[in-house]
Amino acid sequence: MTQRPLLGATPPMGWNSWNTFGAQITESVVRETADAMVATGLRDAGYEYVVIDDFWEADERDAGGRLQAHPERFPSGIAALADYVHGQGLKFGIYSCAGTHTCGGRLASYGREEIDAQTFADWGVDYLKYDFCYRPFGADGPTLYRRMAQALRATGRDVIFSACEWGINEPWAWARQAGCHLWRTTGDIVDNWKSIRDIGFGQAKMASYGGPGGWNDPDMLVVGMRGKGNVAEGGCTDDEYRVHFALWCLLPSPLMIGCDVRAMDTFTSELLAHPGLIAINQDPAGLPAWNLNGDENHWDWKNFQLWARHLADGSIAVGFFNIHDENTHKMVVGWETLSLDPRRKCRVIDVFDDEEVCITDVSFAINVAPHSVKLVRLVPILD
Ligand code: GAL
């Protein structure tokens, strides 16, 4: 018997409609997005799933009890749209909710898990984001997510199952066992510095729960939104988007693009498709990053964050994040804290520039401007 590949072996990568389009999503936007993912090289960079979030649903189920697409915004129906997306060499995702209604008040899957899972499978769905609104009192997360996971599995189709319960019942402790491949650890991200900082650097406590087959999900990317769209709340600078993307790559977190990929500027498309950053995110070992300046009580936790992660090839990725509002800071990493022999010489590679900075032992220090990041890979030189 041939072995089926592990679903979600590395963090899922794709695009989701919510951050930019919210309730305005249409089938033509989804088609154009699939086209743009091919044309801009995002598909070839590894972004695979095109996911429609809430508001694709019609007001009523059909005579057979099946969910249907909104007749004005998705007139061709979901199966045709999934075919189109598959035709572009991409995979197709959709959204529902564990309660009776979605968070946008549309029809959802509580008590209809089997028929909905079968409908999704029949349409060619490869990814299901499953929200947590309007659940009956007393219905707990593990039960509701397990039910839908079982229903999806019973269809025989490989479907990535994305739990969106906002981290309220510590899903990192149970969602993997409940059959989820990723689970939100936080409330909704918005497009500004405070949101990416607070969500991103709040990931230390659950970091060790993520790994091949099941990932912590600190929500979708706002990179490139530039203050436009459904969750736009001020926007970020280029440096802040770099901090956001570098941290999501390092954690590692799912990479679901939220901007309008039909209209990206060069900065955005180059950042999102950066091969060195994506390689760190998709590292086959899937080990978690850890925060080297310890817990939230550390004296400088609010200003400077040092994160590191062991990679499959024996190198170590280190992110130097300066989250102070004004001061440039010299940040240092010592080999000792990375479980490296201090005498071990390492090549220090700047990941953004793809350039060797130096060869050194003991420690490495670098100046980091406010609201910005330096990301290096330490490659031990073995003698
Ligand atoms: C929220 C969820 C968002 C989006 C929205 C749709 O609960 O966190 O990511 O899916 O619902 O209504």
What would the pLDDT profile of 301-350 be if each residue is shown by its tens digit? 678 999 999 999 999 999 999 999 999 999 999 999 999 999 999 999 99
Please tell me the distance between residue 74's alpha carbon and the centre of ligand 1 in angstroms.
Answer: 19
Please state, for a pLDDT cut of 90, what percent of the chain lies above it: 95
Q: Does residue 361 have an active-site annotation? A: no
pLDDT at residue 60 is higher than 70? yes
pLDDT at residue 377 is higher than 70? yes
Residue 16's Cβ-count burial label (10 Å; 0-12, 13-18, 19+) is: buried
User: Which atom from ligand 1 is nearest to the alpha carbon of 53?
Assistant: 10
Q: Alpha carbon of 8 to those of 43, 45, 348: distances in Å?
A: 17, 17, 30
CATH class of this structure's domain 290-380: mainly beta
Q: Is the CB of 230 under 6 A from ligand 1?
A: no
pLDDT at residue 294 is higher than 70? no
Please tell me the distance between residue 255's alpha carbon and the centre of ligand 1 in angstroms.
Answer: 16
The one-letter code for the residue type at 324 is: H
CATH 3.90.1150.10 assigned to domain 13-281? The reply is no
User: What SS3 state is found at 372?
Assistant: strand
Over residues 243-255, the mean pLDDT reads 98
Q: Is the CB of 217 under 6 A from ligand 1?
A: no
Cis peptide before 370 (omega within 30 of 0): no
Phi, psi of 160 (to 5 degrees): -70, 130
171 vs 183: CA distance, rounded Å: 7
Q: Does residue 188 have an active-site annotation? A: yes
Residue 280 pLDDT class (50, 70, 90 cuts): very high
| CA 364 and chain centroid, separation | 30
Which helix (H) or strand (E) covers residue 373, if one does?
strand 372-380
Average pLDDT score, the chain: 96
Q: Is the CB of 348 under 6 A from ligand 1?
A: no
The pLDDT value recorded for residue 196 is: 97
Report pTM: 0.97
pLDDT at residue 94 is higher than 70? yes
pLDDT at residue 200 is higher than 70? yes
CA-closest candidate to residue 15, choices 7, 35, 23: 35
* 140-205-226-268 Cα dihedral, nearest 10 degrees: -110
218 vs 302: CA distance, rounded Å: 19
Lowest mean per-residue pLDDT among 4-8, 21-25, 88-92, 160-164: 4-8
CA-closest candidate to residue 356, choices 315, 299, 324: 315
The pLDDT value recorded for residue 4 is: 80
CA-closest candidate to residue 25, choices 73, 72, 68, 71: 73
> Hey, where are the domains in the chain?
13-281, 290-380
Q: Is the CB of 165 under 6 A from ligand 1?
A: no
The pLDDT value recorded for residue 299 is: 60
Apex CA 226: angle with CA 246 and CA 305, to 5°? Answer: 30
